[in-house]
Amino acid sequence: MGTSPVVSLRHVTKSFRRDTLEVPVLRGIDLETSGGDFVALMGPSGSGKSTVLNLIAGIDRPTSGDIRVAGSDLASMSETDLAAFRSRHIGFIFQMYNLIPVLTAEENVALPLLLTPLSGKERREHVRTALGVVGLTDRAKHFPRQLSGGQEQRAAIARAIVTDPTLLLADEPTGDLDATSATEILELLRRLNAEYGKTILLVTHDPRAAGYARTRRFLDKGVLGEMPASYAASASR
Amino acid sequence: MRIPLAYNLRHLRARPAAAAMTALGIALPTTTLLLALALPEGLNRVLQGTGDPDNLVVLRKGSTTETNSAVDRDPARLIATLPEVVKDPEERPLLAPETIVIVFAPRRNGLQGNLLVRGTGEGGRALRSYVRLVEGRWFTPGLPELTVSRRIAERYQNLGLGERIHFGKHDWTVVGLFDAQGKAPDSEAWADVDLLMSDFLRTTYSSVLVRTPSPDVQARLQERLDQDKRLSLVGFPEPEYYRRQTQGPGLPLLFIGMFVSVLLGVGAAVGATNTMYAAVAQRTREIAVLRSIGFRRRSVLASFLIESLGVALLGGMLGCLLALPFHGAVTSTVNWKTFGDLAFQFRLTPALLAKGLGFAAAVGLFGGFLPARLAASRSIAASMRAI
């Protein structure tokens, strides 16, 4: 595990324009994450958690402030460079899994590898490994509609880790799952962090999910602050 | 790197009705275009394939077709004496003074047609060796008899073997059928030149067809005819004579066909646009996911264009299949140079089918471009928020 920050946000603000109205979402946040961290970013709905993830992934741009991820200054990068950056450094896990419905589990997992110079054989090996890590080898040929919610999310995690990205960004990954499946997914994330040293930034409003992280930060009304006592109690397990 | 083709193919398979309707919408203008292009292709084959380069068609100076030409008997006799004209084994000059007459005659479909009747003789047959008698016999000089193209016999009433048709001063009996291998005489009925001229009170021939021994001699004969002010004649090599007629006959049909194709093509492109817009709307989330994984805008653009192209090519192939049964079908149009009906076959060549597919592809790309651009230009974050 390295000590240089994988993610560094300095005085980041983000506002959205609704008609003529400027709606501030992030009000100058600072955040630093080192390699091998497992950080939970908590906060109520609308607090700006997903916006933080989008900014770190380079799929949205801040109104002001600096964002450095894996040594890259995202503000200075073009759309094309950002796409290349995402394919190299970011693995995204969504609440709604967001698998491509017309592709099988293994084809979904293979998608990010199409952006690498790997050969077909190497790609197949990587896919097999990723599906093995998430315990979904026997469902490789299944389409998303043939999988349970938990299995879909595991396939989505396999897709996120298959290129061995620098950073895993998980946006409410258990928000659409039953308790048992949610626990499986959170255990899987913890294992990815503990055994494989993956740096994970988990966005959740669920204190129980946040409990799996090593570090917890709280975002409220666009400001990073201390965890309220009620959250902290629920999050400690 | 491009988004895998399986993504597009399976999406098409997932919404077969929409894909099929779009493909059908593109198939129809493709078929129309192919049929419109098959017309001149067939006509050109008839007119450009007709004519022996050793033959010279002699007309009155200033004329370009037999219809508006008049060659007096004296000049015609004079041509027969010229040294440039080939002699047959019996030392007779190998030439054919001919006349053509347009006769209104009922077609088998009930409509009236302009039947081209050619008055000719033994020389006319000798100079057109590709014209073969396939049934019956050749007409007898001096008798009101016709030997007609089998293709014409199939298209006109009263022109079957043994049947009679009235024009001029006689009832003409069909005594034989010939086959001209798809060349211009396949649109003609042949009769004795002298009797035909007498029937129509003609005192001049329309043309004189002359055999020359070589291109050099032929050029010399052309020059002699051109320079002899008494004759006032002009000679065209027979292939060139027919080639000059290719610009006229098919143009109106080609124009109408192209016009309808373009109209239908625009409609089909709009249909493709709607289908692809619907596809983009349905796949907002997927597009956002693909972009978040690292696929570039241009990959998304290419993917949707390929999908649109795929549907269009499917439509194009369907359009080709719909047009194929017309290949070889015989139809006719008025040859505006001679005013006679010109029978020809629709000809769908591989090059023409490729043009049809190219047209379909263009419709698909044109129709798919705006939706593909929309898909590629959407902000990932906005799409994420929208879903």
Cβ-nearest to A86 among B2, B286, B294 = B294
For residues B193 and B125, is the Cβ–Cβ distance under 8 A? no
Question: Which chain B residues contact residue A59 at CB under 8 A?
Answer: 291-292, 380-381, 384
Q: Does A19 touch chain B (CB under 8 A)?
A: no
Interface test with A, best of B300, B384, B385 (most A CBs within 10 A): B384
Contacts of B1 in chain A (CB under 8 A): 114-115
Taking Cα atoms as reference points, which of B355, B276, B361 lies closest to residue B313? B361
Smallest CA–CA separation between B279 and chain A, in Å? 13
Which residue of chain A is at minimal alpha-carbon distance from B5?
Answer: A103
Q: B209 versus B252: which is more confidently predicted?
A: B209
Confidence band for A114, pLDDT divided at 50, 70 and 90: very high
Residues 54-93 of A with CB under 8 A from B: 54, 57, 59-60, 79-80, 83-88, 90, 92
Quote the CA–CA distance of B335 and B50 in Å, as a whole number: 15
The arithmetic mean of pLDDT across residues B224-235, rounded, is 88
* Closest residue of chain B to A117, computed from CA coordinates: B1
- Which two three-digit tokens encode residue A202? 């988990």
Q: Does residue B115 register a pLDDT over 50?
A: yes
Average pLDDT over residues A157-174: 95
- A218 touching chain B per CB within 8 A: no
Q: How far is B12 from chain A (nearest CA, A)?
A: 10
Q: Which of A111, A118, A166 to mutate to test the interface with B (most CBs of B within 10 A)?
A: A111
φ, ψ at A200 (rounded to 5°) = -125, 135
Q: Rg of chain A's alpha carbons, rounded to an integer?
A: 18
* Mean pLDDT across B323-343: 72
Q: Using CB atoms, which residue from B6, B10, B285 is nearest to A98?
A: B285
Cβ within 8 Å, pair A115-B4: no
Contact check, Cβ <8 Å, B7/A59: no
Is residue B1 helix, strand or coil? Answer: coil
Query: What are the backbone angles phi and psi of residue A207, rounded to the nearest 5°?
Result: -60, -35
- Residue B80, CA distances (Å) to A167, B66, B212 in order: 98, 19, 12
Give the residue carrying structure tokens 């008839």.
Answer: B46
Mean pLDDT across chain A:
91
Contacts of A155 in chain B (CB under 8 A): none
Model confidence pLDDT, tens digit, residues B62-110: 888 888 899 999 988 999 999 999 998 888 999 999 999 999 999 888 8
Tell me the C-alpha distance between A84 and A78, whole Å. 10
| Portion of chain B with pLDDT greater than 70, in percent | 93
Give the pLDDT confidence score for residue B339 in this predicted structure.
Answer: 62
Give the distance, in angstroms, between the CA of residue A211 and the centroid of all CA atoms in the same chain.
Answer: 16
Q: What does the pLDDT read at residue B264?
A: 79
Q: By the CB < 8 Å criterion, does A115 face chain B?
A: yes
Sort out which chain A residues have CB atoms less than 8 A from B288's CB and list them. Answer: 98
In chain A, what percentage of residues exceed pLDDT 90? Answer: 79
Amino acid at A111: L
Q: pLDDT tens digit string along B248-301?
A: 555 676 677 778 778 878 888 888 888 888 888 888 888 989 999 999 999 999
Interchain proximity A87–B3, CB inside 8 Å: no
More reliable by pLDDT, B340 or A126: A126
* Adjacent-strand bridge partners of B190: B118, B147
Q: Return the residue of A nearest to B380 by Cα.
A: A59
> What distance in Å separates the CA atoms of residue A192 and residue A157, rounded to the nearest whole number?
10
Judge whether A97 and A144 are in contact, CB under 8 Å.
yes
Neighboring chain B residues of A57 at a CB cutoff of 8 Å = 292
Q: Which of B7, B14, B380 lies nearest to residue A59, judging by beta carbons? A: B380
- With an 8 Å Cβ cutoff, is A8 touching chain B? no
User: Of B243 and B371, which is predicted with more confidence?
Assistant: B371
Q: Could you tell me the pLDDT band of residue A1, with boundaries at 50, 70 and 90?
A: very low
CB contact under 8 A, A115 and B292: no
Cβ-Cβ pairs closer than 8 A, A with B, add up to: 75
Considering only CB atoms, B381 lies closest to which of A59, A79, A102, namely A59
Picking from A56, A54, A72, A58, the residue whose alpha carbon sits closest to that of residue A4 is A72
- Tell me which chain A residues have a C-beta less than 8 angstroms from the C-beta of B381: 54, 59-60
Residue type, B335: N
What integer pLDDT is reported at residue B290 of this predicted model? Answer: 92
B296: distance to nearest CA of chain A, Å?
6
The 10s digit of each residue's pLDDT in B135-190 is 999 999 999 999 999 989 998 999 999 999 999 999 999 999 999 988 889 989 99
Angle at A177 between CA A175 and CA A178, to 5 degrees: 125
pLDDT digits (tens, 9 = 90+) for A195-215: 999 999 999 988 899 999 999
* pLDDT at position A57 over 90: yes
Asked if the model's pLDDT at residue B330 lies above 90, the reply is no
pLDDT at A235: 60
Closest CA to B338 of B231, B242, B196: B242
Closest approach of A237 to chain B, Cα-based (Å) = 32
In chain B, which residues have their Cβ closer than 8 Å to the Cβ of A90?
Answer: 292, 294
Q: Does position B332 have pLDDT exceeding 90, yes or no?
A: no
Contact A102 B14 (CB under 8 A): yes
CA neighbor of A173 nearest in space, from A41, A68, A55, A47: A41
Q: Hey, of B285, B292, B300, which one would you mutate to test binding to chain A, going by the most A CBs within 10 A of its CB?
A: B292
Q: Which residues of B touch A83 (CB under 8 A)?
A: 291, 294-297
Contact B10 A102 (CB under 8 A): yes
Candidates 3.40.50.1220, 3.40.50.2000, 3.30.420.40, 3.40.50.300; CATH matching A5-235: 3.40.50.300
Evaluate if residue A142 carries a pLDDT over 90: yes
N- to C-terminal Cα separation, chain B: 26
- DSSP E strand boundaries for chain B: 55-60, 95-106, 112-120, 132-136, 145-149, 164-167, 170-179, 188-192, 207-211, 233-237, 330-334, 341-345
Q: What are phi and psi of B181, to 5 degrees?
A: 55, 40
Residues of B with CB under 8 A from a CB of A: 1-4, 6-7, 10-11, 13-14, 285-286, 288-297, 379-381, 384, 387
